[in-house]
Amino acid sequence: MASESYDAIIVGGGHNGLVAAAYLARHGARTLVLEARGQAGGAATTESPWPDAPEFKVTRLSYVMSLLPPTIMRDLELEKHGYKVFPMGPYYQAFPEGGSLTLYEEDSQRSHDEIARWSKKDADAYPKWEAWLAGLADVLGPLLLTVPPAIGSRKPKDLAATLRLAWRHRGLDVRTIADVTRLMTMSIADLLDDWFESPQMKGALAVNGVIGTWAGPYEPGTAYVMAHHSIGDVGDGRLGSWGFPEGGMGAVAAAIGRSATANGATIRT
Ligand SMILES: Cc1cc2nc3c(=O)[nH]c(=O)nc-3n(C[C@H](O)[C@H](O)[C@H](O)COP(=O)(O)OP(=O)(O)OC[C@H]3O[C@@H](n4cnc5c(N)ncnc54)[C@H](O)[C@@H]3O)c2cc1C
């Protein structure tokens, strides 16, 4: 071991460490991942928690796929390495006072009928809301994979990068820029108040604003959390879709790990 040298050593083999390793290795860096646990994957893990029934394997921490950018899936050839996801849906919400709401990704008329049971106005607003979100996704989606510009720097390279980014967004209108800017600071509750009237619809749509976030729906910034969850897909090209991976979340980490090692990275657990 002492004689081995690496260009990049990644401490922690969660899915982010594995993705970094795969990209580094793909670009020719001698790459090593050091993972403290017995298996890589971090919170993307499938385990057999019952010693007397090892045949039962479960997703133990993170439980559903979304937001893995299709660019990463393609670059790392994750399908070839075993990534397979079944889209989740339809979205179902039960209310404490009784009744429920189901939103069908594939069937806008059925969603309309469902929402209209609570509010006709909300049912009519929902397709417009979805179109508005899709418009935002066109702006925000590509930014997720863009290194932020070094604003204020006068180095020619940084200025060129800032100008390139500005040029890419030259077609944006004032309204869209205002919407994106407000999203970053608004609460999901305030945003939904602008669009919908029924507490059922607002409750159902607020979930994406607080999921995975140490915040309630009135917290500033939660509007963006909602948008962030709505702009990902699971590789099926359907915006905001989530899915269950075959083999549990550990299978996702394993596919990324296989991509990393196929490109020459070493993973030590
Ligand atoms: C209960 C729970 C549910 C979640 N549900 C979802 C979900 O359904 N969908 C979703 O997309 N996200 C979900 N998340 C969030 C998601 O799991 C995290 O965003 C993701 O795991 C972050 O990945 P990571 O690679 O950055 O870190 P981690 O997954 O935390 O991996 C870090 C790795 O580094 C290792 N490590 C740490 N320190 C060292 C060290 N000094 N030396 C060597 N190794 C070290 C750890 O053992 C671990 O394997 C959930 C999170 C939790 C906790």
How far is it, in rounded angstroms, from Cα 31 to Cα 25?
Answer: 6
Q: Residues 6 or more apart from 114 whose CB is under 8 A from it?
A: 101, 102, 103, 104, 123
Predicted local distance difference test score (pLDDT) of residue 229 = 85
HSE, CB side, 13 Å, CA atoms: give it for residue 7. 13
Predicted local distance difference test score (pLDDT) of residue 1 = 53
CATH number of 8-85+246-268: 3.50.50.60
Tens-digit pLDDT profile for residues 66-75: 878 888 999 9
Give the residue, by CA position, lying nearest to ligand 1 atom 26.
Answer: 16
HSE, CB side, 13 Å, CA atoms: give it for residue 218. 0
Mean pLDDT for all residues in the chain: 92
Distance 160 CA to ligand 1 centre (A): 35
Residue type present at position 18:
L
Domain extent listing, the chain: 8-85+246-268, 89-241
How far is it, in rounded angstroms, from Cα 39 to Cα 183?
Answer: 38
Predicted local distance difference test score (pLDDT) of residue 2 = 54
Predicted local distance difference test score (pLDDT) of residue 69 = 81
pLDDT-derived band at 145 (thresholds 50, 70, 90) equals: confident
Predicted local distance difference test score (pLDDT) of residue 53 = 97
Evaluate if residue 234 carries a pLDDT over 80: no
Evaluate if residue 267 carries a pLDDT over 70: yes
Mean pLDDT across the stretch 207-215? 91
CB 3 within 8 A of CB 33: no
| Best probe residue, ligand 1, of 61, 68, 208, 213 (max atoms within 8 Å of C-beta) | 61
In this structure, the residues whose C-beta lies within 6 A of any atom of ligand 1 are: 11-17, 34-37, 42-44, 61-64, 66-67, 212
pLDDT-derived band at 28 (thresholds 50, 70, 90) equals: very high
Distance 225 CA to ligand 1 centre (A): 18
pLDDT-derived band at 239 (thresholds 50, 70, 90) equals: low
Beta bridge partners of 92: 102
- Report the atom number in ligand 1 closest to the C-alpha of 40: 49
